[in-house]
Structure 1
């Protein structure tokens, strides 16, 4: 089967003019907006480059003032550094020993140590409240139970409601 060419001279001239018109439109657009596009591309390329900070020149050490010549005195002893203080009190040795007994998989070792530490009150573990959440509930102690609560009641509401009958 042969291919039909629907291309006569009129149609061929139409496509030639269309191609030239599109080419001219592209050239005009490039002349009008090309410089702006190129400037944007340069700005983006500059933004992608790593930031180059100027190098600082080393400061010349200042000469210490000359001390008057006197009898040499004893050199001052170095100041002892203060040990880093933890937020928590030290762990009692009996509790620390739990770490080395067994493995966590068997609910011993680290697992038992952490559960034992968790049972301690925050006041006995921390030197001061570490976060603002600690102030809520800090030093409240055990919850207070009202004396008229019965273990057999159904409601957990501590306030009893009186129902009046008419």
Structure 2
């Protein structure tokens, strides 16, 4: 701000009064609304804190009462039985071997592994739906192709005028 050289006593008193009046207005406002502003600031600060939600694990099925002692016959399985610790089924060894074969730049390694995993349906990869978006396609099965019925009498070749946009109407252009 440029210093004014024509400052006399009258002007000095004016600026002194203005400064004191502004100061009093600020004090009044702070006394009136200060507690409300502080409460809002505390609420905003609390809202910025990250919300911690507990991790949900699938419930283990209730074990049936002990059966009479009979030698159970085990079915041969390619997947080793492991306690449930993750949300996904274990990967087949052949698929896991793709990870260590080549580099992604050459469409091998991780690139081929991820593309192979992507081809499997989510029900075969995950134990249960992880997100709500999974529910839309869960247990739907393979997609079914629908063939379009073609009707040559229903097809319209074009909706543009044959003679251009600014030409006069031609009787051939009108749909009767």
Q: Could you state the TM-score of these two structures normalised by the residue count of structure 1?
A: 0.48
